[in-house]
Chain A
Amino acid sequence: GQNIDQPTEMTATEGAIVQINCTYQTSGFNGLFWYQQHAGEAPTFLSYNVLDGLEEKGRFSSFLSRSKGYSYLLLKELQMKDSASYLCAVRDSNYQLIWGAGTKLIIKP
C-alpha cells in the first residue's frame, strides 16, 4: 500500500528553527507538496519538490531525497502565526495526491 509518515505533533519556540520530516512509500513519484493548514481553514500551498535538493522560499525551505523517500520542511525565525498543521503529500504514478495525516506545530513564546 501507499504510505506517508510524518510526526503527529511538534513544539518549538518563537524565533527558533524547526524541521518537519516526511517519509513516503508510494506507487511512483511525480512530485511532493507541503501545505499549511490553520485550524478550521483551507490548506494552502507552501512548496513543491520534484528533483532532489533544497527549495528555499523566504523563511520556509523544503528538501527532497527521492532515493530515500524522504522530505523535510524547514521553518526559520518562527513566528506565532506559524502555529498550524503542515501536510505532506506525494503525487503518485496515477497523478493522485497521497496525503500524510499532518504535523501539528505548536509555537511557544
Chain B
Amino acid sequence: GAGVSQSPSNKVTEKGKDVELRCDPISGHTALYWYRQSLGQGLEFLIYFQGNSAPDKSGLPSDRFSAERTGGSVSTLTIQRTQQEDSAVYLCASSTALVSRGKNIQYFGAGTRLSVL
C-alpha cells in the first residue's frame, strides 16, 4: 500500500480479554516497529523486526505482550489479559532498514486507540 495501515483504528475491550492489533507496513520495508503512545508521554518503544532476524523485544512491558511478523510483512501485536493501564494508542512504523547511516526515516500508521474498561 501507499502507507502504513493499522487496524482497527479503535478498540474497546473489557479488562481481562485478549486483543490483537494489526499493522501492514509499506511494501518493501524490511524494518517494522511497534510503539505505545500514552497521553503526556513520549512514544514508548515496544518491539522491532528486521528482515528474518530475531526481533528486538526489549521494550515489551510484560509477558502479556507479544508480536509476530508473518512472511516479513504484516505484523500482529497481541495483548493478553488486558489491564486498564494498557489503554493507549499503539503505533506501528516501518522503514527501509535498521540503520547504519543516514536518515532511515520511520513512516507511521495512524495507530490503534485501545480502551480497556
Q: List chain A positions with a Cβ less than 8 A from chain B.
A: 4, 8, 30-31, 33, 35, 40-45, 48, 87, 89, 91, 95-102
A55 to chain B, nearest CB (A): 11
Q: B22-53 toward A: CB 8 Å interface, digit per residue (1/0)?
A: 00000000000001000011111100000000
Contact with A along B3-14 (1 / 0, CB 8 A): 110000000000
CB distance from B64 to the nearest CB of A (A): 22
Contacts of A87 in B (CB 8 A): 42-43
Most buried by B among A31, A42, A48: A42
Query: Are B42 and A101 within 8 A (Cβ)?
Result: yes
Check if A42 sits within 8 Å of B41, measured CB to CB.
Answer: no
Residue B60 lies at the interface, judged by CB distance under 8 Å to chain A: no
Bound CA span A31–B99, Å: 11
Separation of A45 and B4 alpha carbons in the complex (Å): 14
Interface residues on B, range: 20 to 34
B residues touching A (Cβ–Cβ < 8 Å)? 3-4, 35, 40-45, 91, 98-100, 103, 105-111
Shortest C-beta distance, A65 to chain B (Å), equals: 19
Q: Which residues of A contact B44 (CB under 8 A)?
A: 99
What residues of chain B lie closer than 8 Å to A100, measured between beta carbons?
42
- Asked whether, in the complex, the Cβ of B4 is within 8 Å of the Cβ of A99, the reply is no
* Alpha-carbon separation in the docked complex, A92 to B93 (Å): 18
- A44's contact among B45, B99, B108, by CB below 8 Å, is which? B108
3 closest Cβ pairs, A-B complex: A99-B42, A99-B43, A42-B108
